[in-house]
Structure 1
Amino acid sequence: MKLIQLCSFLLYGLFLNAHTTTDNARCEEVSNTCAVISCGTHSHSGFPGRDGRDGKEGPKGEKGDKGAQGSRGIQGPPGKLGPPGVKGEKGSVGQKGEQGVSATSEVDVVKEQLNAFKKELETFQASLTKYKKILLFHGGKQSGDKVFVTNGLEENFENAQKTCREAGGALATPRSAAENIATQEILHTKGESSKAFLGISDLQVEGIFRYITGEKIIFTNWNLGEPNNSKDNEDCVEIQDNGKWNDIPCNLLRLVICEFQ
């Protein structure tokens, strides 16, 4: 660039001081120094000036066509809570409910439930006491809802009744063949020729044997020829090891067999 400027300056000086010289001669002189510059054929033409400054901004162009829709942006934060809506119409009346229980009635119900619970508890305690006493016996047999047990002791009829009653049971009273067999099996655990009192007698009415509760007997298993009330002194009943019954005096000692339900 500096070389071009220098050549321009020299050419300009030559133009001022040697204008009488022909154009071709000057070009030859200058070409020896600045060979890169081409000389023109016009004698008085000047050199190009510098670029001028930028012009003023032109008028705004026309609005272009609408572009394609862009992708959906991220959802913004929720806006503020709007004002409450208009109150809706009143709904239809529902079905009428069941009548409630008054406070007094509820108290009465609770009392009844409490009393029922107390009775159940008393029954349970009584049963527990009874079965605790049953545990004092041994050699028990079951028939239906009855359990027949013995304490292994021999007593007269009156004391045998008392023993069973205090234990929460009653003197053995077979009311079926199955119950009679269960009583007989207990006798077998005590050896041959064992005998036991039954809860049957004719102490109330001579010749009419009843349960000690006063009911008529519904099952019997008398030995042949019995009852015979020998010597007019046989008001109680024993069961023998063969399962047969016999009337005997009440003061004799026999095995105590009790029944529990």
Structure 2
Amino acid sequence: MDYEQAGELKIGQVGIANLRVRTLDVPRLVQEMNERVTRAPKLFGRAAVILDFGGLSRTPDVASAQALLDGLRGAGVLPVALAYGTSEIELLSQQLGLPLLAKFRAQYEPADAGESVAPRAAPAAPVREVRRSAPAAAALAAKPAPAAVPKPGRMQLANVRSGQQLYAENCDLTVMATVGAGAEVIADGSIHIYGTLRGRALAGAQGNTAARIFCRDFHAELVAIAGHYKVLDDVPDNLRGKAVQVWLEQDQIKIAALD
């Protein structure tokens, strides 16, 4: 017998802040988060936050982690999960009653500066010798290799309304209209906005530090490149309402008017 579900579960792309703990100083972490919420309450007030303990040499004990959770809630944000790391982190998540989000850091935070990860080599396929006649071999060598087909960027023609989120996976995003307040546009590449940007724009979401944001009318709530962000309150008044470009330079967000 078929039953109609009371709730429909869907897995989708969500924008969640990732707090990577580099020093387990609970009062200092809580103070820093309180300052962020105070500066931009519409952005960070009651924001969902992932805790990432991967930057620590040792996994925190349950009491310290629980104190941090309570402090962050008191500062105005909502810790919702731990970033996946080690078996100790998995055990800690169970003790705290929080889920793990696997590979979360890979989506929104690049590897640490100076850290190099060698790509895993694919298993070698068995080699089989094939004999061809001289004319056939010459014809095969003369045949040009097929050109790689570039993946087109995603284009949005209509306005992006409050509460909407667009994500351009492995490509640039071009918005020909307005990104409203409370809306969010995300791209693994660069973001080009030909209307007004009032919401949030996050470029280089997979860690591409060379990504940029271009906007014709800048009023953004937040802009981010490869996880580094800047809120509107930190932007000079002379850049608001201007055509600007946003880029990352030595882990600092830079914003300049376009000539």
Pick the TM interval, shorter chain: under 0.3
Which structure has greater helix proportion?
1
Does 1 or 2 have the higher relative contact order (CA < 8 Å, sep 6+)? 1
TM-score by length of 1: 0.21
More strand by share: 2
Q: Which of the pair has more CA radius of gyration?
A: 1
